[in-house]
């Protein structure tokens, strides 16, 4: 915190500290846990919860790899295997990758924007509770022995009531709608916060590149998630109410399901990939010690990817017999999307080229990411070549491809981000030695596991098979893939160990251990509840590099400028700005801790339980609870906004 | 690229390919249904596309990977503190434009052109001498019908060498996918529509096929075989299979027929010329001449057939055929009967 | 973004890399001029939510046209194309219910709470009338959502819209209650603004639903 001419006296300073503490204090213990609307607590919660799901999904994978380590194995029967591969996909996409990135976004956006919380703090809490409850909802399927088993994309008619009469697929269909609420609502928060809560001087082209990536991601969510909501809602309608959307015998279409699902499904992988690229574009410049090369190119590429990603979904349907020339169009667009990714790649190379790289663990993960993404991107271009896809679609080649991009090119940046930002979150550094060990184990294990799968695809091995015959040349490669998988898992466990141990024994981080440039490093580690006692004023893209001591805004008498300085921090307020150049517009009261988001989320969960159990009374209770809590939530709106 | 030029390039790559393939793939079993070992026109064409892409991929990976490494380890001399300023130099823009936009676009254009040309070639319909086969996907087996020859069989597709083949693909239940890696790309069976796969086989032999769309419990064991025969052999096979089987003379075989038609077998299976007319399961006429049992789950031997009939759930758990409790005598008779159906 | 168009006269330079304020100093800010002021965050939140809901309806209508395109006859199964007479009238009623909302919003901006309440109430009655007609229409249709894909789509689309109408009516009651209790004023009527936005959206979607499900089936 910078000094000004009017520095208060020592006793006045203590008084300010006390008043700040009082203004921002949350209840202790479980009450505070259940009612907090602090974006940092919510963000960290997202990350921890998502990592729990990551390890569960990882264990599911390792069990499958044990079954597949040899031909004709009897570790698992087909029923169990089918549930495992379905839940593995669901977990990794819906319950790990998507929320963990939202968690980092939640934690970092207000800090990087130089403000005190997100635009809708209670909505933020709500979106976390929905995520948690939807994950519990879907995993409770294991408790009743009926986990979804239709594959993570659950094609009809296999998943129709006729062919999947059990409740398994209802956990899927309802669960997908359930978790979609969290993603959508989170996206609303990201967009409005990025536009309305930037600090003075942070014009749109001075926003951190990570914010750009979260913005692009959020817009993709807004336009893509309704499609999967529809896909699963219509499926559930067919299953629970006997409608005929997907029934060919009644004029419906199984392909309609695929179109609806993949219209979301393809943007979804970019919803995951774009924030990961934003993280890499943040971390590499810090450790190369020079600004990101071609910031405008990179920002434009992120937006270009967001747009183009909506035009390629049919490549998931290349083998369904659609008209060839229509498919060729989608193949072309799929090739096109490699260009903005290539631009970002060159940017990273150029950034490092004239920089001097420091090899910290986050930087290692970024380099690992780069090579893995290079390969995954290349195979992505390959499968976009329509005739080639006709050979490798649904084979292990595609399994290899999407693990390279969704595991390697998303998970490696996430681990890098963990090593980079956890010190800010907890105030303690992670062990570099353990970090390096973890990285190399993960990198080697990853490639040993997934590279052979490309070859398995060429050798004709289908995906989603619980076993295979010997004598096809698949045995050795499968064994290798299984060994690699365990090695990769070990590598991730080393990071878990690192996180746990460093919590107690890690070196204190200080405000800016990496000598980074963005605003989150201008405050303490961990930051106080209010982030900044006075809102920083920026004059460049790299505030901490370009200004040895950051300028700060003072509170003015006018309503719109009250929240900028100490007054705002003392009264639990944060400024709202307007326009591309962040002019002061009004002041927002940050809501106090409240049970309402949790109550609305619980009501929503009860609604879904009612649908699952086909019990109208239960659903009605859920509706009532959610509605009442919502009314209470909105009741004081006018008083809250000044 | 001109057509002859492209062909020469592909031929060159094809020569380099197998050499690299042996190195890369190591000990690759001859029985692996490998896309890199094409015995059909479509698979061969796609294989050509693959080698082109591999060459480009290796080049891109080497160059970009090299740049990454050089960039990462490079220590620029005497440029002072890079963290100040933040302006892009002209080199940055050049890198990004050249390496990120121009070169990728060129490579992608090459691939785009190849995509369109190959797609059109593969989808082109022949007009003369086409052999039509209708294949229907079922959980978890394949019905195979020859409308012109009047043959109905299952899990085995015989085709004549060199003639254009058209396989009409439909499904009785869920989405399956018909794939013979060595002959052609795959094509799904979608409820309510008929898809057509076109290719030519270029070498005789028996090729392994798989179901490539997850279709439930026994998706892993929904294989089939494609037998490519000389046109003469194919004609013989078709004629033989179109005939109903002769009445059995051997007493064990005759008893087997009795067992078959009186037991639950007839409720699901058809054998032409008998009273067994069930259609829930595969047609078993001429079963003895087939190479495998249970959609290529196990080879067709008497022992395997006995095990399958008495409890197919042990071989293929979850498949739709229940265990059939037969006495030892009945089982031997039925096996003899079915194996005798050549 | 030149300094001229920026209405935030931050006393620092607006050019990147040009430090304007002395390091570490406190900076006094100028608020955005009234003319440049934007909408409140909740308003923008509703806009984004509307974008996603609109996409949901867009997906359903696309599904409708997709299913229509793959079938030879439409509607399916001998169902007659929907009758236009009553629905056209009530389309007018629903779209018309936006007018009292505009009037009410203008009124509350000037602090007129009574007019706000009247406008909301009139609009509510019109919306309720539309919904009642929809329920009556369902009863007279002669096919259900399970009859075939056409029926499923017809009920899903009109039903989803109807659900949005019902939710709108409920929100309207809450806003009317707040207005009645004097909790809204000229400066602060965010719930009314946000509701108005939502209601206009509901009306706007109906235009597309009406055109797709009712009008276009009579085109050939």
pLDDT band (50, 70, 90) for residue C21:
low
- 3-state DSSP assignment of residue C204: helix
pLDDT of B1? 43
Q: What backbone torsions phi and psi does residue B133 show, to the nearest 5 degrees? A: -130, 140
Higher pLDDT, residue C29 or A178: A178
Report how far Cα B299 is from the mean position of its chain's Cα atoms.
18
pLDDT of B10? 47
pLDDT of B79? 56
pLDDT band (50, 70, 90) for residue A444:
very high
Q: How do strand A573-578 and strand B151-154 relate by DSSP bridges?
A: unpaired
- Chain C's closest residue to B192, CA to CA, is C70
User: What are the tens digits of pLDDT across the range A252-290?
Assistant: 999 999 999 999 999 999 999 999 999 999 999 999 999
pLDDT band (50, 70, 90) for residue A12:
confident
The answer to whether the CB atoms of B68 and A342 lie below 8 A apart is no
**Cis amide bond preceding B279, omega within 30:** no
pLDDT of B282? 96
pLDDT of A515? 95
> Under a CB-based contact definition with an 8 Å cutoff, are residues B183 and B158 in contact?
no
Is A539 in CB contact (< 8 Å) with chain C?
yes
pLDDT at A642 over 70: no
The residue with tokens 């295997």 is A81
Q: What backbone torsions phi and psi does residue B165 show, to the nearest 5 degrees? A: -105, 140
Q: How do strand B195-199 and strand B165-171 relate by DSSP bridges?
A: antiparallel
Q: How do strand B156-160 and strand B187-189 relate by DSSP bridges?
A: unpaired
CA pair distance A353, B73, nearest whole angstrom: 8
Lowest mean pLDDT among B22-36, B153-167, B299-313: B22-36
pLDDT of B91? 75
Integer CA distances (angstroms), A128 to A100, A105, A602, in order: 11, 13, 12
Helix (H), strand (E) counts: chain A: 23, 4
Q: What is the mean pLDDT of residues A451-467?
A: 97
User: What are the tens digits of pLDDT across the range B220-273?
Assistant: 999 999 999 999 999 999 999 999 888 888 999 999 999 999 888 999 999 998
**Chain B to chain C Cβ contacts (< 8 Å):** 4
CB atoms < 10 A from the CB of A633, how many?
Answer: 18
Closest by CA position to A443, among listed A478, A399, A401, A494: A494
Q: Is the dihedral of CA A528, A533, A535, A540 positive or negative?
A: negative
pLDDT band (50, 70, 90) for residue A8:
low
pLDDT at B4 over 90: no
CB atoms < 10 A from the CB of C116, how many?
Answer: 27
B4, with CB counted inside 10 A (0-12, 13-18, 19+), is exposed
CA pair distance B189, B155, nearest whole angstrom: 15
pLDDT of B22? 39
CA pair distance A401, A416, nearest whole angstrom: 21
Of A223, A539, A631, the CB nearest to C12: A539
pLDDT of C16? 32
Entry pTM = 0.93
Instruction: Report the neighbours of A using a cutoff of 3 or more CB pairs below 8 angstroms.
Output: B, C
Average pLDDT of chain A? Answer: 94
Q: What is the mean pLDDT of residues A235-250?
A: 96
Kindly state the tokens that stand for A606: 């009860």
pLDDT at A555 over 50: yes
The answer to whether the CB atoms of A579 and C7 lie below 8 A apart is yes
The CA-based dihedral angle spanning residues A624, A627, A628, A632, taken in that order and rounded to the nearest 10 degrees: 170
Task: Tell me the three-class secondary structure of A339-404, residue by residue.
Answer: HHHHHHHHHHHHHHHCCCCCCCHHHHHHHHHHHHHHHHHHHHHHHHCHHHHHHHCCEHHHHHHHHH
pLDDT at A15 over 90: no
Cβ neighbours of C17 in B, within 8 Å: 85-87
| Nearest chain A CA: its distance from B122 CA (Å) | 8
The answer to whether the CB atoms of A638 and C147 lie below 8 A apart is no
DSSP H or E stretch at residue A86:
helix A78-90
Task: Tell me the three-class secondary structure of B180-224, residue by residue.
Answer: CCCCCCCEEECCCCCEEEEECECCCEEEEEEECCCCCCCHHHCCE
Lowest mean pLDDT among A357-371, B2-16, B274-288: B2-16
Cβ neighbours of C16 in B, within 8 Å: 86
**Chain A to chain C Cβ contacts (< 8 Å):** 246
The residue with tokens 């910078």 is A2
DSSP H or E stretch at residue A316:
none
The answer to whether the CB atoms of A579 and C25 lie below 8 A apart is no
> Under a CB-based contact definition with an 8 Å cutoff, are residues C105 and A201 in contact?
no
> Under a CB-based contact definition with an 8 Å cutoff, are residues A50 and A103 in contact?
yes
**Cis amide bond preceding A334, omega within 30:** no
The residue with tokens 């169009």 is A329
pLDDT of C22? 62
Helix axes A98-113, A39-68, angle to 10 degrees: 150
**Cis amide bond preceding B140, omega within 30:** yes
Residues 6+ apart with CB under 8 A from A448: A480, A481, A483, A484, A487
- 3-state DSSP assignment of residue B170: strand
**Cis amide bond preceding C75, omega within 30:** yes
Is A62 in CB contact (< 8 Å) with chain B?
no
Q: What is the mean pLDDT of residues B189-202?
A: 96
pLDDT at C158 over 80: yes
> Under a CB-based contact definition with an 8 Å cutoff, are residues A280 and A414 in contact?
no
> Under a CB-based contact definition with an 8 Å cutoff, are residues C94 and C133 in contact?
no
Is C23 in CB contact (< 8 Å) with chain B?
no
| Nearest chain C CA: its distance from B85 CA (Å) | 6
List the single best residue of A150, A350, A375 to mutate versus B (max B Cβ within 10 A).
A350
pLDDT band (50, 70, 90) for residue C35:
low
The answer to whether the CB atoms of B53 and A327 lie below 8 A apart is no
> Under a CB-based contact definition with an 8 Å cutoff, are residues A128 and A45 in contact?
yes
What is the percent of chain A with per-residue pLDDT over 70, rounded to a whole number? 98
Which DSSP state fits B156?
A: E
CA pair distance A280, A261, nearest whole angstrom: 29
pLDDT of B8? 46
CA pair distance A393, A463, nearest whole angstrom: 9
CA pair distance B138, B153, nearest whole angstrom: 13
Kindly state the tokens that stand for A409: 């090119």
Q: How do strand A551-553 and strand C26-27 relate by DSSP bridges?
A: parallel
pLDDT band (50, 70, 90) for residue B94:
confident
Closest by CA position to B199, among listed B43, B316, B61: B43
Kindly state the tokens that stand for C182: 């004097």
Kindly state the tokens that stand for A609: 């339980």
Kindly state the tokens that stand for A642: 């000044």
Closest by CA position to A227, among listed A271, A168, A165, A169: A271
pLDDT at A474 over 60: yes
Length of chain C in residues, anyone? 220
Is A356 in CB contact (< 8 Å) with chain B?
yes
Q: What backbone torsions phi and psi does residue B341 show, to the nearest 5 degrees? A: -80, 85
pLDDT band (50, 70, 90) for residue C23:
low
Q: Which bin fits B155, alpha (ψ -120 to 50), beta or left (φ > 0)? A: left
pLDDT at B28 over 50: no
CA pair distance C207, B204, nearest whole angstrom: 62
Cβ under 8 Å to A: B residues 6-65: 24-29, 31-36, 43, 45-46, 49-50, 53, 57, 60-61, 64-65
- Give, in degrees to the nearest 5, the angle at Cα C185 between C182 and C187: 155
Kindly state the tokens that stand for B25: 């793939």
CB burial of B278-308 (b: ≥16 within 10 Å; e: otherwise) equals eeebbbbbbbbebebbbbbbbebeeebbbbb
Is B138 in CB contact (< 8 Å) with chain A?
no
Instruction: Report the neighbours of B using a cutoff of 3 or more CB pairs below 8 angstroms.
Output: A, C
């Amino acid at each position: 915190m910078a000094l000004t001419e009017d520095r208060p006296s020592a006793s006045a300073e203590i008084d300010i500290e006390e008043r700040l503490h009082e203004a921002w204090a949350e209840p202790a213990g479980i009450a505070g846990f259940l009612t907090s609307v602090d974006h940092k607590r919510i963000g960290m919660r997202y990350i921890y919860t998502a990592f729990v799901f990551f390890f569960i999904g990882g264990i599911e994978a390792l069990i499958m790899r044990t079954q597949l380590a040899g031909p004709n194995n009897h570790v698992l029967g087909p029923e169990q295997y089918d549930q495992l591969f379905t839940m593995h996909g669901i977990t990794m996409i819906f319950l790990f990758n998507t929320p963990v990135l939202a968690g980092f976004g939640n934690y970092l956006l207000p800090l990087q924007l130089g403000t005190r919380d997100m635009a809708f703090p209670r909505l933020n809490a709500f979106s976390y509770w929905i995520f948690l409850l939807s994950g519990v909802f879907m995993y409770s399927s294991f408790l009743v022995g009926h986990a979804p088993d239709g594959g993570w994309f659950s094609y009809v008619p296999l998943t129709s009531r006729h062919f999947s009469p059990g409740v398994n697929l209802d956990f899927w269909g309802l669960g997908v709608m359930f978790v979609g609420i969290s993603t959508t609502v989170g996206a609303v928060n990201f967009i409005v916060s990025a536009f309305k809560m930037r600090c003075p001087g942070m014009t749109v082209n001075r926003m951190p590149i990570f914010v750009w990536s979260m913005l692009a991601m959020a817009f993709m969510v807004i336009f893509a998630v309704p499609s999967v909501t529809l896909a699963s809602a219509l499926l559930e309608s067919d299953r629970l109410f006997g409608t005929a959307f997907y029934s060919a015998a009644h004029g419906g279409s199984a392909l309609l399901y695929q179109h609806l699902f993949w219209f979301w499904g393809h943007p979804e992988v970019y919803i995951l990939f774009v924030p990961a690229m934003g993280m890499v574009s943040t971390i590499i410049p810090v450790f190369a010690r020079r600004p990101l090369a071609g910031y405008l190119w990179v920002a434009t590429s992120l937006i270009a990817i967001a747009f183009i990603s909506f035009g390629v979904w049919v490549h998931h349907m290349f083998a369904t017999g659609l008209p060839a020339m229509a498919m060729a169009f989608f193949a072309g667009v799929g090739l096109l999307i490699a260009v903005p990714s290539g631009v970002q790649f060159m940017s990273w190379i150029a950034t490092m080229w004239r920089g001097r790289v420091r090899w910290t663990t986050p930087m290692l993960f970024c380099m690992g990411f780069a090579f893995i993404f290079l390969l995954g991107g290349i195979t992505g271009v390959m499968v976009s070549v329509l005739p080639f896809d006709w050979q490798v679609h649904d084979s292990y080649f595609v399994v290899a491809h999407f693990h390279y991009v969704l595991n390697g090119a998303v998970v490696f940046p996430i681990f890098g981000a963990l090593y980079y930002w956890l010190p800010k979150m907890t105030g303690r550094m992670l062990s570099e030695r353990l970090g390096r060990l973890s990285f190399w184990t993960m990198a080697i294990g990853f490639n040993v596991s997934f590279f052979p799968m490309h070859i398995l695809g060429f050798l004709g091995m289908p995906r989603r098979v619980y076993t295979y015959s010997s004598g096809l040349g698949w045995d050795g490669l499968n064994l290798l893939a299984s060994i690699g998988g365990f090695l990769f898992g070990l590598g991730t466990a080393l990071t878990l160990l690192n996180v746990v141990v460093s919590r107690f024994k890690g070196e204190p981080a200080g405000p800016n251990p990496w000598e980074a440039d963005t605003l989150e490093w201008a405050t303490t580690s961990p930051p106080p509840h209010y982030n900044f006692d006075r809102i920083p004023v920026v004059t460049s893209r790299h505030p901490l590099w370009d200004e040895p001591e950051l300028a700060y805004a003072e509170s003015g008498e006018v309503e719109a400028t009250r929240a900028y300085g100490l007054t705002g921090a003392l009264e639990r307020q944060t400024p709202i700005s307007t326009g591309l150049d962040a002019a002061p517009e009004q002041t927002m009261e940050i809501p106090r801790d409240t049970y309402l988001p949790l109550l609305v989320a619980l009501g929503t969960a009860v609604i879904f339980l009612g649908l699952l159990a086909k019990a109208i009374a239960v659903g009605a209770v859920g509706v009532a609870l959610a509605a009442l809590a919502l009314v209470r939530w909105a009741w004081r709106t006018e008083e809250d906004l000044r | 690229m001109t057509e002859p030029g492209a062909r020469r390039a592909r031929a060159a790559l094809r020569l380099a390919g197998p050499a690299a393939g042996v190195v890369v793939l190591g000990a690759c079993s001859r029985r692996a249904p490998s896309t890199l070992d094409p015995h059909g026109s479509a698979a061969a064409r796609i294989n050509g596309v693959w080698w082109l892409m591999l060459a480009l991929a290796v080049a891109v990976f080497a160059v970009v990977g090299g740049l990454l490494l050089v960039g990462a380890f490079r220590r620029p001399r005497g440029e002072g503190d890079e963290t100040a300023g933040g302006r892009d130099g002209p080199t940055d823009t050049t890198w990004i434009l050249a390496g990120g936009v121009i070169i990728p676009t060129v490579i992608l254009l090459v691939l785009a052109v190849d995509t369109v040309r190959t797609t059109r070639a593969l989808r082109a319909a022949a007009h003369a001498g086409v052999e039509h086969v209708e294949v229907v996907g079922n959980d978890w087996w394949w019905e195979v019908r020859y409308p012109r020859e009047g043959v109905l069989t299952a899990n085995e597709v015989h085709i004549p060498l060199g003639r254009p083949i058209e396989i009409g693909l439909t499904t009785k239940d869920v989405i399956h996918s018909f794939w013979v890696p060595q002959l052609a790309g795959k094509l799904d069976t979608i409820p309510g529509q008929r898809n057509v796969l076109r290719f030519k086989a270029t070498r005789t032999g028996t090729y392994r096929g798989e179901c490539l769309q997850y279709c439930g419990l026994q998706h892993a064991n929904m294989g089939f075989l494609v037998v490519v025969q000389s046109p003469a052999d194919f004609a013989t096979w078709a004629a033989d299979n179109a005939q109903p089987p002769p009445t059995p003379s051997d007493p064990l075989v005759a008893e087997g027929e009795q067992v078959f038609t009186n037991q639950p077998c007839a409720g699901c299976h058809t054998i032409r010329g008998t009273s067994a007319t069930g259609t829930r399961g595969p047609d078993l006429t001429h079963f003895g001449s087939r190479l495998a049992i249970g959609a290529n789950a196990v080879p067709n031997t008497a022992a395997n057939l006995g095990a399958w009939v008495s409890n197919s759930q042990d071989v293929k758990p979850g498949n739709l055929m229940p265990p059939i409790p037969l006495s030892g005598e009945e089982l031997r008779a039925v096996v003899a009967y079915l194996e005798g159906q050549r | 973004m030149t300094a001229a168009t920026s209405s935030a006269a931050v006393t620092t330079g607006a050019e990147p890399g040009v430090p304007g304020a002395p390091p570490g100093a406190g900076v006094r800010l100028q608020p955005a001029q009234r003319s440049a002021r934007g909408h409140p965050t909740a308003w923008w939140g509703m806009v984004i939510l509307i974008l996603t809901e609109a996409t949901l309806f867009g997906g359903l209508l696309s599904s409708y046209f997709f299913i229509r395109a793959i079938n030879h006859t439409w509607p399916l199964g001998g169902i007659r194309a929907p009758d236009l007479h009553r629905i056209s009238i009530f389309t007018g009623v629903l779209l018309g219910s936006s007018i009292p909302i505009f009037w009410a919003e203008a009124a509350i901006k000037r602090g007129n709470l009574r007019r706000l309440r009247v406008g909301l109430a009139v609009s509510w009655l019109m919306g309720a009338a539309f919904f009642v007609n929809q329920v009556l229409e369902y009863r007279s249709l002669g096919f259900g959502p399970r009859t075939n894909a056409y029926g499923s789509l017809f009920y899903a689309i009109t039903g989803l819209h109807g659900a949005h109408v019902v939710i709108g009516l409920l929100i309207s009651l809450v806003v009317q209650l707040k207005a009645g209790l004097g909790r809204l004023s000229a400066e602060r009527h965010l719930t009314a603004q946000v509701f108005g936005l939502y209601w206009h959206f509901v009306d706007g979607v109906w235009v597309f639903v009406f055109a797709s499900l009712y009008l276009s089936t009579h085109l050939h």
